Structure 1
Amino acid sequence: MPSSEVAQSPAATARNHAPVIWLPYLAGTTSKAESQLRKGVLEYCVLAILRRDGLVETRWQESPSGPPRRYYELTPPGHAALKEFTAIWPHFRDAVDHFIAD
């Protein structure tokens, strides 16, 4: 890692990318199909980032009905990030609820 970069905890990395999940809801969609497409694309992007950052591992498995499928599994740093994120989630939820109520 270059000296100008600051290392982040796995949970901090996950938090930095969490807002991406909200984009389809903020953008407003015209149809359920469009919403599902956006959701699928964004989920794949988030999973790719989590994989790149070492929070999940993937494996391909042949499928009896269609193309091979990719399966994701949390790594030890991914479990640590999930634990940290779970601890801060109620505070985030409460802040959003307060913002919506105002």
Structure 2
Amino acid sequence: MKTSSRRFSKWLVGINVALAWGAIYLGIIYLQASAVVASGLGFIGLIAGAYMGVGHADYRAFIKATAATAFGYAPSGTAGGGDFPLVDTSSQNPEAQ
């Protein structure tokens, strides 16, 4: 099974962040910082946050799949939406029975 290196998305994030920093730099140089800096920094945060969020979701899916194959089960009925598989709350949910 070929695993993804996420090379395209890394390049896309890197290029967009570099362009945003370039726009911020030019905004400061041409005395337009009030129009560019806040939106540029927000854009950088949005792009980086989206990239890390997708990576976190991919990692959680990988861990869940690994636990399912390694231990022969998929955690369900757990607190935190599967983040804490050692805390079983299925007995507290009457619909689960």
Whether TM-score is above 0.5 comes out as: no
Work out which of the two has the higher radius of gyration on C-alpha atoms and give 1 or 2: 2
Name the structure with the higher helix share.
2
Report the TM-score, using the length of structure 2 for normalisation. Answer: 0.37
Using CA pairs below 8 Å that are at least 6 residues apart, which structure has the higher relative contact order? 1
Report the TM-score, using the length of structure 1 for normalisation. Answer: 0.36
